[in-house]
Structure 1
Amino acid sequence: MGVAIDIDNVVKMYDEHTVIDGLSLTIQPGELFTLLGPSGCGKTTLLRMIIGFNSVDGGAIKVDGQRINDVPVSKRKMGMVFQNYAIFPHMTVAENIAFGLKTLKDSKAQMQSKIDHIMKVVHIQDHHSKKPDKLSGGQQQRVALARALVINPNVLLMDEPLSNLDAKLRIEMRNAIKEIQQEVGITTVYVTHDQEEALAISDRIAVMNKGVIQQIGKPEQIYLRPSNLFVAQFIGTSNVIKAKVEKQGTDTFIVFNGEYKEKLDNVVETVENGQEVLVSVRPQEFTITQEASAIAGVVESTMFLGINTHYLVTLTTGERVEVVQHIEDKAIIPEGTNIYVKVKPHLINLFDVANEQTLMKAGE
């Protein structure tokens, strides 16, 4: 069973520049928790604070209830997998994995037993005598993962572990990492800037920007109900268009382009009649229709991607949006065609113009 990690109001500064200022979160025992955000958002800095490579300038980090701020890296019982693998080119697979065991003072028989076991867990048992240059990128990453896990750490930390792999291998390895993490049951903190990767493997995700956590939640929560406009635009593709709120008695409508409107049942009650809002609509949340009462636009470009066709559409308001249509039996719409689009009201998200925070009811 994994351990809990409590990060309480931590601060990190570089030359009087505050990178992380009072960040707090709790990682549950045994979960795969992902720190997701753009480059420079502080996610790797936080990871390095957890393992001890970076000092903590304020607040506390606790593992299983024990404060570890001043505990040396070698005493924290954590394994780390780096972006560039960091495996030794002159050593075989087995020797690389054994490297982390040397400080444990195990007997040769104990070491070999642990090495054999972990190679089976990560599926590289057939490559024990090979040097790294004889392995694929995915196999090298499995070696790095085995080396981190063989010491039986309490926590596994992974810093952009798949960024050096090609697209097909990334998918293969993210599935492998999720499977291995679940089998071992170790508390894992995973850093990435790749939204799809985070959605695919995580139990929970913390979206970060400029050293601040924007939202923490399960992948489907963050994708379907982002807490602010930054999260909506960072997770996946999202069109942002302007609209107004219209209240009729107890009913709330969202009005586009002054005439097309949809009733919404999950907007906070504090929205006011006539209030301007920003609406996040993912490409697949549009429906192309023949109804002239919908939002009018012109197809500027078409991109056929097999199962779907992507259209870049300029609306009569001047706003440009991406619309995705599932092929089925539909013919591809030529460029220059006038079209109308509607939104799927139960999927779209509304945000306040001033602070860009969600206007959707929690959990709906």
Structure 2
Amino acid sequence: MSWICRVHHSLCISIFYQKVKERSTMSVAIHIEKVVKKYEDHTVIDGLSLEIKPGELFTLLGPSGCGKTTLLRMIIGFNSIEGGAIKLDDQVINTIPVNKRKMGMVFQNYAIFPHMTVEENIAFGLKAQNQGKKDMQNRINEIMKVVRIEDHHAKKPDKLSGGQQQRVALARALVINPKVLLMDEPLSNLDAKLRVEMRNAIKDIQQKVGITTVYVTHDQEEALAISDRIAVMNKGIIQQIGKPENIYLRPNNVFVAQFIGTSNLIKGTVQKQQDGTFVVFNDGYSERMDHLLDTVTDGQQVVVSVRPQEFVVSKDANAISGVVDKTMFLGINTHYFITLKTGESVEVVQNIEDHSIIPEGTSVNVKVKPRLINVFDATSEMTLIKAGE
């Protein structure tokens, strides 16, 4: 392709994105106010509230059965609402039929029609809008270019890869110019390489189109990679809402710390001294903590969450002693699985450039990086780190 053709193609794509963005209307906010969902005598969601900002990609993240898909289906209207309200901007949509909510949805299993071509699948949702033939064709052509499926317009789904089928499903959801895009585990049926490719594509398309998007997944890496903000859910309750980096670095409680990434949990005690506040681990090793809440008390029992990379293998005597049970070399990093003197098992990740590989069976001392670790009250399991630290 000559450079003139490449420039022309890029210009066309930019125009297509702009047209779709303009026609998708101004981005809307979603207000979820104390909503309740019951199935007979079982309450799945009980008084949940959250705000989704206009144009953001907001992810509902949690384990299977936590209520995230139930909430998504309440937003689009597949599930009834037994209490509270869901609003698009200022409009309550509780009783508005699904086909009147102006929302697009992408399902886990794609839900594209096997007997239709790519183009026919995308056109399906437009036919109900009584569009003129020329205008409808223009919109189909535009959205196929946006999701990069135009070269396959005449193919049936069985001739497409999983990623291509998901692009068709995404195009079909976007072509009707919805106010909100909803996505329910859209990548779970793809292999690892395709998942990475498609999550990048979804993020890119969502940003360029500018549509308010609610994304459901149980995959925390996927959520961290694509989200503007994440709501971590468990048993129908939101545990924490925040930007991916904030949730990863400063989890609100023990559940979030364990669900997002890998975390080692170690018992400890708060010790207040004249020269500061310390966390003392069960074998006597201590670290000064200058960013704990002022309300912590001397002798308070705590649980310390330490990411594998937040450990340091050290020769310092003021450290936690242990024995290397297993060594796993993974190129840049080496993972050590260590049983501590206290009986606790931890995973430690060290950069191979910083040290030679430690043989299994070796006695080692490990310290923590006090500014990075998280400390939780042993009873409530809530964070004891000051906000913003």
Shorter chain as normaliser: what TM range?
A: over 0.9
Task: Give 2:343's aligned residue.
Answer: 318
For residues 268-326 of structure 1, the C-alpha deviation after alignment (integer angstroms, 9 at most, x for no partner) is 01111121110000101001111122100000111111221111100000000010111
* 1:8 has 2:16 as partner: no
Q: CA deviation at 1:329?
A: 5.3
Task: Give 1:359's aligned residue.
Answer: 384
- Which residue among 57, 62, 69 is the counterpart of 1:32? 57
Task: Give 1:291's aligned residue.
Answer: 316
* 1:64 has 2:72 as partner: no
Unaligned runs of 5+ in 2: 1-25
* 1:272 has 2:297 as partner: yes
Q: Is the 8 A contact 2:327 2:359 kept in 1?
A: yes
Q: CA deviation at 1:54?
A: 0.2
* Aligned-partner residue type, residue 153 of structure 2: H
* Aligned-partner residue type, residue 343 of structure 1: V
Give the Cα separation in 2 of the matches to 1:91 and 1:155.
25
Task: Give 1:153's aligned residue.
Answer: 178
Give the Cα separation in 1 of the matches to 2:276 and 2:344.
27
- Give 1:172-321 correspondences, 5 Å limit: 172-249=197-274, 251-321=276-346
- Which residue among 56, 73, 79 is the counterpart of 2:104? 79
Give the Cα separation in 1 of the matches to 2:329 and 2:342.
26
Cα distance change, pair 112–43 in 1 and its aligned pair in 2 (3 A) = same
* Aligned-partner residue type, residue 154 of structure 2: S
Cα distance change, pair 258–303 in 1 and its aligned pair in 2 (3 A) = closer
1:356 aligned counterpart, secondary structure: coil
Give the Cα separation in 2 of the matches to 1:277 and 1:250.
20
- Comparing 189-198 with 249-258, greater Cα deviation is found at 249-258
* Aligned-partner residue type, residue 346 of structure 1: R
Task: Give 1:168's aligned residue.
Answer: 193
Task: Give 2:114's aligned residue.
Answer: 89
Q: CA deviation at 1:248?
A: 1.4
2:164 aligned counterpart, secondary structure: helix
Q: CA deviation at 1:257?
A: 3.0
* Aligned-partner residue type, residue 155 of structure 1: V
For residues 189-223 of structure 1, the C-alpha deviation after alignment (integer angstroms, 9 at most, x for no partner) is 00000000000000000000000000000001100
Task: Give 1:50's aligned residue.
Answer: 75
Q: CA deviation at 1:250?
A: 5.9
Give the Cα separation in 2 of the matches to 1:328 and 1:171.
28
Q: Is the 8 A contact 2:283 2:342 kept in 1?
A: no
* Aligned-partner residue type, residue 362 of structure 1: A
Q: TM-score, normalised by structure 1?
A: 0.99
* 1:346 has 2:368 as partner: no
- Which residue among 138, 154, 158 is the counterpart of 1:129? 154
Give the Cα separation in 1 of the matches to 2:362 and 2:322.
9
Q: CA deviation at 1:247?
A: 1.0
For residues 55-80 of structure 1, the C-alpha deviation after alignment (integer angstroms, 9 at most, x for no partner) is 00100000121000000000000000
* Aligned-partner residue type, residue 344 of structure 1: K
Give the Cα separation in 2 of the matches to 1:221 and 1:250.
29
Q: CA deviation at 1:249?
A: 2.5
Give the number of equivalent residue pairs.
364
2:134 aligned counterpart, secondary structure: helix
Q: CA deviation at 1:225?
A: 0.6
Give the Cα separation in 2 of the matches to 1:21 and 1:241.
33
Give the Cα separation in 1 of the matches to 2:81 and 2:216.
19
1:328 aligned counterpart, secondary structure: helix
Q: CA deviation at 1:330?
A: 2.5
Q: Is the 8 A contact 2:283 2:320 kept in 1?
A: no
Give the Cα separation in 2 of the matches to 1:282 and 1:138.
33
Give the Cα separation in 2 of the matches to 1:307 and 1:138.
30
Unaligned runs of 5+ in 1: none
CA RMSD after TM alignment: 0.9
1:99 aligned counterpart, secondary structure: helix
- Give 1:108-123 correspondences, 5 Å limit: 108-123=133-148
Give the Cα separation in 2 of the matches to 1:193 and 1:55.
23
Give the Cα separation in 2 of the matches to 1:264 and 1:292.
19
Give the Cα separation in 1 of the matches to 2:281 and 2:168.
54
* Aligned-partner residue type, residue 42 of structure 1: G
Q: CA deviation at 1:341?
A: 0.4
Q: Is the 8 A contact 2:283 2:341 kept in 1?
A: no
Identity %: 76
Greater helix share, structure number? 2
Give the Cα separation in 2 of the matches to 1:330 and 1:356.
35
Runs of 4+ with deviation above 4 angstroms: none
